[in-house]
Amino acid sequence: MNLANRTIAVIGLGYVGLPLAVEFGKKRPVIGFDIKADRIAELQAGHDHTLEVSAEELKEAKHLSFTANPALIRLKQPPPVALGGSADAPPMVFIVTVPTPVDKANRPDLTPLIKASETVGRLLKPNDVVIYESTVYPGCTEEVCVPILERESGLSYLTGNEIHSSGHETLGQNTAIDPRRQSPATAANTPATAANTPATATNTPATAANTPATAANTPATASLSTPGFYVGYSPERINPGDKTHRLPDIKKVTSGSTPEAAQAIDALYQEIVTAGTHLASSIKVAEAAKVIENAQRDLNIAFVNELSVIFNRMGIDTTEVLQAAATKWNFLPFKPGLVGGHCIGVDPYYLTHKAQELGYQPQVILSGRRINDNMGRYAARNVIRLMLKNGINVAQATVGVLGITFKENCPDVRNSKVINIIEELQNWGLTVKVMDPWADPQEVQQEHGLTLTEITPQTPVDSLVMAVAHSQFEQWAPQQLRALCAQHAKPVIADLKALHERTSLEAQGFEVFRF
Ligand SMILES: NC(=O)c1ccc[n+]([C@@H]2O[C@H](COP(=O)([O-])OP(=O)(O)OC[C@H]3O[C@@H](n4cnc5c(N)ncnc54)[C@H](O)[C@@H]3O)[C@@H](O)[C@H]2O)c1
């Protein structure tokens, strides 16, 4: 199998999908699909509001086009049908990069993944390859997504060792399950398939016999006995806002449903990832590797967060303790803090969900989650405690919060744990003013029901929470921060990212709290 000439469709153009579509789009035809029409419109206009891809890079991706209409995905394969191309096109590669959030009870919400699999399933043709990048629990791709692809396409999942040394491909292990599965000759007449794929309804599924291009791309299909598709899993490791570690610079784990598919998928990513790839032995291994990367980080942060709670009671500054301990060669340099975002604070729940489903109650992972999820409330209560200690009337006080996004220099306000601080302060009757030069005011309003404002010396607050280390905030010296606070009382400053020396803040008259 050789994926070198195939068109790629990227399904879901967010923080993960867009950079991927752009990298491939610099080299080969790529169709970027998203259900949000406004996202497609902004990308077609050359703008990415996530700031992961610049206007120049979007232009560089010469072979990339966008659509919000799934029916156009196959028709956009070059040359487009309108320009004389054939909708009976050669096999494609679909890469799914949709969100995998948790619900309010921290259970995996697979709705976007299921919907995206339905969309892809309706478009699938024999020998297509579907690669999932969304973070999931081990087993999810083959237990949840693959049956949907089979059901919607009527095709077989090609897995295991179907490809023999002669290059012959046979049925997958679970091929007898779906009565709608058909041979190429009958697929065109089946109403379900035709109805599901309006764009391709008039065409019979591409078979080796009637599409020479297909045969050229995938010689093994010449002897295909039952049409099927391949699946891969290649987790994304992108770090939003990080301009040093970008997609090509981060080694990528790959996997595939057959040895040949795995090799081909690995080669596909080598085309854009200069840091190289690691071919995992199975889809499950690749899924598990991703989910534990974030669970490990979560636990390491939980450990230092717990230390910070203990040391706070002892009157010891945790940052100073960690600086001292880090002088040992094998001490891991984790810092305490809020754990928000879509990865570290979410992915462990995918793993624990699966473990619980299998009858095992995870102890370590969930206790780390509990600690990290409580850090926002813990910080807010300490700010209130210190304000009360300094005689500030909290019922009439205003606290300024600097930063609402889930991380520094990134406009994403979803899954931000700063909101826990704000809500706790409000629960105690304080007024909270939030300032964030990176966040979109409308998104903040929609996501959190908050109105962003400016905090200036002309509109001073009674205390400050430095929640996010945006580059703009990093530049503010302690005396500038003091100027943002009322002069009449000793203000509290919660320097949650330890941006300043404790003593230099104290020298300005601040009561300092840090994790
Ligand atoms: N953001 C990160 O730092 C990061 C890093 C590594 C892995 N991941 C994982 O990658 C996946 C995607 O994350 P993201 O941050 O890019 O999400 P995102 O929310 O930024 O983007 C997802 C996009 O998918 C679109 N979408 C939703 N349902 C769709 C559907 N059915 N069909 C087509 N498009 C659909 C949304 O409109 C959105 O534009 C998640 O599983 C996440 O855990 C994220």
Lowest mean pLDDT across 139-148, 191-200, 276-285? 191-200
The pTM (predicted TM-score) of the whole model is 0.83
Write out the two tokens for 221. 């299909």
Upper half-sphere CA count for residue 173 (Cβ side, 13 Å): 7
Residue 165 — very low, low, confident or very high, per pLDDT cuts 50/70/90?
very low
Contact in structure between 318 and 312 (CB atoms under 8 Å): yes
Residue 77 — very low, low, confident or very high, per pLDDT cuts 50/70/90?
confident
Q: Which atom of ligand 1 is nearest to the CA of 100?
A: 41
Nearest to 238 by CA among 15, 60, 48, 24: 15
Q: Give the Å distances, CA to CA, from 19 to 43, 237, 256, 354.
A: 12, 12, 22, 30
| Packing angle of the helix pair 347-357, 283-314 (nearest 10 deg) | 110
Cα of 18 vs centre of ligand 1, distance in Å, is 9
Contact in structure between 496 and 382 (CB atoms under 8 Å): no
| Packing angle of the helix pair 418-427, 375-389 (nearest 10 deg) | 40
For the chain, the first-to-last Cα distance in angstroms comes to 53
Give the pLDDT score at 81.
60
Give the pLDDT score at 225.
59
Lowest mean pLDDT across 15-24, 196-205, 216-225? 196-205
Q: Which atom of ligand 1 is nearest to the CA of 239?
A: 3
Give the pLDDT score at 314.
97
Which helix (H) or strand (E) is 433 found in, with range? Answer: strand 431-435
Q: d(Cα 264, Cα 99) in Å, to the nearest integer?
A: 25
Cβ atoms within 10 A of the Cβ of 492, count?
Answer: 26
The overall average pLDDT reported for the chain is 87
CATH numbers and ranges of domains, the chain: 8-281 (3.40.50.720), 301-513 (3.40.50.720)
Q: Which atom of ligand 1 is nearest to the CA of 36?
A: 37
Give the pLDDT score at 90.
83
- Output DSSP code: residue 337: -
The answer to whether residue 140 is catalytic is: no
Is 50 exceeded by the pLDDT of residue 227? yes
Mention every residue, 6+ apart, whose C-beta is less than 8 A from residue 373. Answer: 339, 345, 417, 420
Is 70 exceeded by the pLDDT of residue 399? yes
Residue-wise pLDDT for 465-514, tens only, equals 999 999 999 999 999 999 999 988 899 999 999 999 999 999 999 999 99
Cα of 227 vs centre of ligand 1, distance in Å, is 30
Give the pLDDT score at 208.
34
Is residue 245 lining ligand 1, measured as CB closer than 6 Å?
no
